Every structure is written in C-alpha cells, then in structure tokens.
C-alpha cells in the first residue's frame, strides 16, 4: 500500500461533493469511496461507526488498491473494466470478505476529454434501495465532473463552450479541435473517422495566415470518401482552437425542447417525517423532474429505475405527479 494523493485534481474536485453527499446520508449505513485512475482509494467518508469498522476490516482505506488483479470483482475494479456504472452485491464479489457488502460504483469522466478519471463507490451493509443509491451516486459524479471542468485549462473550457453552442443549433456534423483535444457530436461518428479527423487537425494547424478569421474549405468524409464543405471557426481566447462544421447530406433536424414544468412538491396532507435517505431521494427526483421538464420517462431513465417504480417511489414519498 502506498500513500494516496489527497491533493490531486480529482480529490480537490470531488471532496466538497462527497462531503455534501455524506451529510445527506449521515444516518444511513453506507460509506463513500473515491478511487483514482490507478484504482487506488484516495478518499473515504462514512458516518456510522459500524460502516467504518466494516471498511477497515477489508482494508478499504485511503491508499489501498482495489483493482481486478488484487481483489477480483468489486464495484471499483469492475467499473474500470466495463466503463459504466455497476452494482456488485453480496456473493457477486470475488473475495469472501467482501460479500457482506452491497456496492454501486460509477465512472467519473472528464467532461472535456472523456477520459476515465476515477470511480465513486457507495458501499452499504444494510438493505437500502439500490435504485436510490445508484441515483445519488450518478448525481454526485456529475457534480464532480462539473468541478473538473472548472479546473480545466481556459482554452479547453472556451473550446467546449463554443463547440456546444454550435452543436446545439446545427443539423450538421460539428467538431471542436484544439492542440491536444478533439470534441465531436453524435453525427460526427458516422461521417468523420480517423483519417478525416487527422485531415481536419492538419487543416486547423496550418490554416490560412490569419488564424483569427473564419474560413471555408472542402474536406473528405468517411462515407464513400465523399467531399463535403467545412466551415472552420476560430474560438475567441483559445489560439489554435477551432469549431468545425461540416455540411453533409442527411443531417438530422434540431430537437426542440418542451415547455417548462414546475418540479413536484410533497402532498399538503402528507406530514410523515422522512429519513435522511428519503429526503435526499425527494431532492434528487425533484431536481431531475425540473431538468427534464416533467417528462417522467426521462426522469426514470436518468435515475436508473422503471417508470412504474418512479411512480411508486413518488407515492411513497408523498410527491405529487
């Protein structure tokens, strides 16, 4: 075991988010573990002493490495293997000593580069709702990713903002290209492969003599090598960075958003006192409902539960819908 880097960019971004989540779950028998790219635990939070003792008993402490090589299937190593959120419950753990735990791990990806920066794991020793724990961790990882964005180089942030603004209103292929970064919308994956992307990077590097003006050129795509017109737009405040819009046939229409809907509120006659976990669940559902403008199918998908389960939880929690 080696000392954990408790001052890394990941820890600095994650610590306030995890501390806030730990406060919401103060009376729940769960622990929160943050692992970095090396699958090493770099931060740990818990409130119940029983949870702390249980984690100590399996060496789930800062500095410990929970990789597949050393500990087999667990909610940290498995996420690094699959690249997606994973439940690992009871006997699904490879090591016998871990089989008392119910865990969910979720990947933390850098919002600009998409690289896997770490995993946030919530580990319980009680029969808490898996769906609720998953939703809480997913929300926390998004907040951590937001903090990582804030700590990114200014040129990357400006490129991302310009890229997102163009992609949101364009029906065509859109990319963001910087010195050491390429961003692409969903349409780009079908039209721009490695060879076309390399051509675009070279165009951005060479370009016209005046790198501060927009220009149009012709580029090849990876669909039958068909040529297409491309507009290269320099990004203000990010020298050498460009938003590239490629005009291709068959572009999809821009999705239109719905009207705003007020988030759900608790029924006026419902005075039952909520547990800390239930209170956190109410906040989570309310925020998701507001984000998705009341679309319960989208809310259920984001929270990792079926629509009928969402309705049942809303009834149990006294939320109007």
**What CATH number is associated with residue 143?**
3.30.450.40
What value does the mean pLDDT take over residues 143-170? 85
Domains in the chain: how many in total? 3
Measured torsion, CA atoms of residues 266, 128, 135, 131, in degrees rounded to the nearest 10:
-90
Q: Which of 210, 226, 247 is where one domain is finished? A: 247
Highest mean pLDDT among 92-96, 189-193, 313-317: 92-96
Q: Are residues 221 and 184 in the same domain?
A: yes
Q: How far apart are the first and last CA of the chain?
A: 50
**1 domain-assigned:** no
Do 41 and 70 share a structural domain? yes
pTM of the model: 0.62
| Residue of 146 and 220 predicted with greater confidence | 146
Averaged pLDDT for residues 186-191: 62
Mean pLDDT of the chain: 80
- Confirm if 261 and 293 have CB atoms less than 8 A apart: yes
Would you say residue 313 has pLDDT above 90? no
Average pLDDT over residues 151-161: 85
Higher per-residue confidence, 73 vs 293: 73
143 and 163 part of one domain: no
Higher-pLDDT residue of 15, 25: 15
Residue 276 pLDDT > 70: no
Instruction: Look at the chain and count its residues.
Output: 321
Helices 9-24 + 276-291 axis angle, to 10? 120
The verdict on 168 and 299 lying in the same domain is no
- The model's pLDDT over 56-76, given as tens digits with 9 standing for 90+, comes to 999 999 999 999 888 899 999
Confidence of residue 258 (pLDDT cuts 50, 70, 90): very low
* Percent over 70 (pLDDT), the chain: 79
Sign of the C-alpha dihedral computed for residues 165, 167, 171 and 176 taken in this order: positive
Residue 119 has a pLDDT of 96
Look at residues 190, 217, 247 and tell me which one is the last residue of a structural domain.
Answer: 247
Do 30 and 142 fall within a single domain?
yes
Q: Which domain holds residue 313?
A: 256-321
Instruction: Please count the other Cβ atoms lying within 10 Å of the Cβ belonging to residue 137.
Output: 23
**Residues 6 or more apart in contact with residue 291 via CB below 8 angstroms:** 302
Q: Between 313 and 130, name the one with better pLDDT.
A: 313
Output the pLDDT for position 153: 84
pLDDT at position 5: 84
Q: CA dihedral defined by 287, 288, 290, 293, rounded to 10 degrees? A: 180
Could you tell me the maximum CA-CA distance found in the chain, to the nearest angstrom? 70
Answer yes or no: are the C-beta atoms of 264 and 288 closer than 8 Å: no
Cα separation, 187 vs 185, in Å, equals: 6
Burial class of 2 by CB neighbour count within 10 A (0 to 12, 13 to 18, 19+): exposed
Tell which wins on pLDDT, 105 or 170: 105
| pLDDT-wise least confident of 185-189, 237-241, 286-290 | 185-189
> Would you give the distance in Å from CA 267 to the centre of its chain?
32
3-state secondary structure the chain: CCCCCCCCHHHHHHHHHHHHHHHHCCCCCEEEEEECCCCEEEEEEECCHHHHHHHHHCCCCCCCECCHHHHCCCCCHHHHHHCCCEEEEHHHCCCHHHCCCEEEEEEEECCCCCCEEEEEEEEECCCCCHHHHHHHHHHHHHHHHHHHHHCCCHHHHHHHHHHHHHHHHCCCEEEEECCCCEEECHHHHHHCCHHHHHHHHHHHHHCCCCCCCCEEEEEECCCCCCEEEEEEEECCCCCCCEEEEEECCCCCCCCCCCCCCCCCCECCCCCCCCCHHHHHHHHHHHHHHHHCCCCHHHHHHHHCCCHHHHHHHHHHHCECC
Give the integer Cα–Cα distance in Å for 202 and 187.
21
* pLDDT band, residue 257 (cuts 50/70/90): very low
Instruction: Kindly provide the b/e burial profile for residues 160-170, where b requires at least 16 CB atoms within 10 angstroms of the residue's own CB.
Output: bbbbeebbeeb
Give pLDDT tens digits for 223-247: 555 677 888 899 988 888 899 888 8
Of 256, 305, 142, 137, the closest CA to residue 296 belongs to: 305
Q: Indicate whether 46 and 114 sit together in one domain.
A: yes
Task: Look at residue 4 and tell me if it is in a domain.
Answer: no
The pLDDT value recorded for residue 269 is 53
Task: Examine the fold and report which residue of 125, 150, 175 is the final residue of a domain before the chain moves on.
Answer: 150
Confidence bin at 161 (pLDDT 50/70/90): confident
């Amino acid at each position: 075991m080696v000392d954990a880097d408790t001052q890394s960019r990941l820890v600095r971004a994650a610590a306030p988010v995890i501390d806030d989540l730990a406060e919401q779950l103060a009376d729940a028998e769960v622990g929160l573990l943050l692992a970095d790219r090396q699958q090493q635990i770099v931060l740990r939070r818990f409130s119940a002493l029983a949870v702390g003792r249980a984690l100590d008993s399996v060496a789930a402490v800062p500095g410990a490495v929970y990789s597949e090589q050393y500990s087999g299937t667990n909610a940290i190593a498995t996420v690094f293997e699959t690249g997606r959120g994973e439940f690992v419950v009871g006997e699904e753990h490879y090591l016998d000593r871990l089989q008392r735990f119910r865990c969910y791990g979720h990947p933390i990806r850098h919002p600009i580069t998409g690289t896997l920066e770490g995993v946030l794991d919530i580990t319980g020793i009680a029969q808490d709702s898996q769906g609720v724990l998953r939703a809480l961790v997913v929300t926390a990882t998004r907040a951590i990713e937001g903090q990582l964005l804030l700590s990114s180089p200014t040129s990357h942030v400006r490129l991302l903002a310009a890229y997102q603004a163009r992609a949101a209103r364009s029906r065509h292929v859109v990319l963001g290209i910087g010195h050491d970064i390429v961003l692409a919308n969903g349409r780009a994956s079908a039209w721009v492969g490695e060879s076309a992307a390399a051509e675009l990077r070279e165009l951005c590097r060479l370009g016209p003599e005046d790198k501060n003006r927009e220009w149009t050129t012709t580029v090849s795509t990876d669909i039958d090598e068909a040529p297409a017109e491309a507009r290269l737009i320099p990004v203000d405040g990010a020298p050498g960075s460009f938003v590239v819009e490629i005009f291709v046939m068959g572009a999809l229409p821009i999705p239109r958003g719905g009207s705003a809907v007020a988030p759900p509120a608790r029924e006026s006659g419902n005075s039952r006192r909520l547990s800390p976990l239930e209170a956190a669940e109410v906040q989570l559902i309310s925020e998701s409902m507001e984000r998705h403008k009341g679309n319960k199918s989208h809310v259920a998908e984001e929270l990792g539960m079926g629509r009928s389960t969402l309705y049942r939880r809303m009834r149990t929690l006294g939320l109007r819908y």
